[in-house]
Amino acid sequence: MPAVSSMRALERPERESEALAEELAARGAAGRPLAIVLGSGLGGLVERLAVRCVIPGAELEHLPRPRVQGHAGEIVLGELGGVPVIIQSGRVHLYEDRSPFEVTRFVRALARLGVRALLLTNAAGGLVAQWAPGTFLCLTDHLNLQGRSPLFRGEGSRASPYDEELGALLEQTARAHHIALERGVYAGLLGPSYETPAEIRALRALGAHAVGMSTVAEANAARAAGLRVVALACIANPAAGLGVESLRHEDVLWVMRRSAERLAVLLERVGPAWAPLLSR
C-alpha cells in the first residue's frame, strides 16, 4: 500500500509539469536552448529581448502565479544575444504557501520543452562585508535550509547542481566586460522574514556568502530533470549585523532595478559563448 501511495504522489506533480509544458509548447515555447528565471526587480531585462512575445501567467492554467511585489508572473519568449530564450519573469516562493512541486513546476516543464540550460537569478543578502549592493555572485554551491525538498525518491546526487563549465564562461565574460562578479555559496532559507544577526553569524560559520529565499529548490529540480544549471545572485543589501538596521522589500527592489541593465549586458555577451555548449 505505501508503494501505491508513493506512486500517486509522484504522478500528480509529473502530470502538472507535463500539462504546463503542453500549454507552453502550444504558445511557441518549445525548442529554445536557454531558460532564465528572473528574481525580484529584474523584470526590466525582458525589455532587452529581440522578437519579444509575452504570455501572461493568467493565460496558463498550470503556471502558479506569484503574490510578491516585483514578480510580474509572466512568461516571455525572445532572443538574448542571438540565443532563443524562454524567461519566467516572476517566480513563486515556498513562503507563499506553495509546495516544493509548485515552486519547481516551471523548471521541470522546461526539460520537456527541450531546454538545455537554466539560468536562475535572485536578490540576496550579502554575508561578505566588502560586497556593496549591486555586486553579482555566481553560485558554486548552496545550503538548502528551507526544510523542504523538491526531489522525488532516487533523484539528485552528491554533487553541486551548478554547472562549472557554464559558470566559468560567465566569469570570463564578466571579466572581459569589466563587470564585477564574485563566486560563492548561497544559503536558501524559507522566509518570508529577514534573518537576525545571530542567524547571519551562523550562516557565515557554515560557509555561506549570500542568503535568500529562493533558487535552491529550482536548482535541485532542474539538475535532476537533466538541465545544466547556472545561478547568479545580485547582492541587494548587507545581511543583518553588517549594514543598516532596518530593511524594506522596496529597498531591495530599488537596488535590483538599478542592477538590471548590467545584468542584461552580461547575459547578452555570455549567450553566444554558451551557445556551442547548449547544442551538445
**Residue recorded with cell 538548502:** 144
Q: DSSP secondary-structure letter at 152?
A: P
Out of 93, 111, 224, 259, the active site residue is: 93
Q: Say if CB 100 and CB 156 are below 8 A apart.
A: no
Q: Say if CB 219 and CB 35 are below 8 A apart.
A: no
Out of 89, 122, 220, 237, the active site residue is: 237
Out of 213, 225, 256, 260, the active site residue is: 213
Out of 149, 160, 199, 249, the active site residue is: 249
Out of 96, 99, 144, 199, the active site residue is: 96
Q: Max CA-CA distance within the chain? A: 59
Task: Verify whether residue 18 is a known catalytic residue.
Answer: no
Q: How far apart are the first and last CA of the chain?
A: 42
Query: In sequence order, what DSSP letters do the residues of 10-41 get, joined into one string?
Result: HHHHHHHHHHHHHHHHHTT-TT-SEEEEE-TT
Task: Verify whether residue 178 is a known catalytic residue.
Answer: no
Task: Verify whether residue 162 is a known catalytic residue.
Answer: no
Out of 17, 89, 122, 214, the active site residue is: 214
Out of 95, 149, 171, 199, the active site residue is: 95
Distance CA 126, CA 184 (A): 11
Out of 17, 40, 89, 122, the active site residue is: 40
Task: Verify whether residue 71 is a known catalytic residue.
Answer: yes
Task: Verify whether residue 220 is a known catalytic residue.
Answer: no
Distance CA 68, CA 63 (A): 15
Task: Verify whether residue 40 is a known catalytic residue.
Answer: yes
Task: Verify whether residue 123 is a known catalytic residue.
Answer: yes
Out of 35, 123, 210, 217, the active site residue is: 123
Task: Verify whether residue 144 is a known catalytic residue.
Answer: no
Out of 71, 174, 264, 268, the active site residue is: 71
Active site positions, annotated? 40, 71, 93, 95-96, 123, 213-214, 237, 249
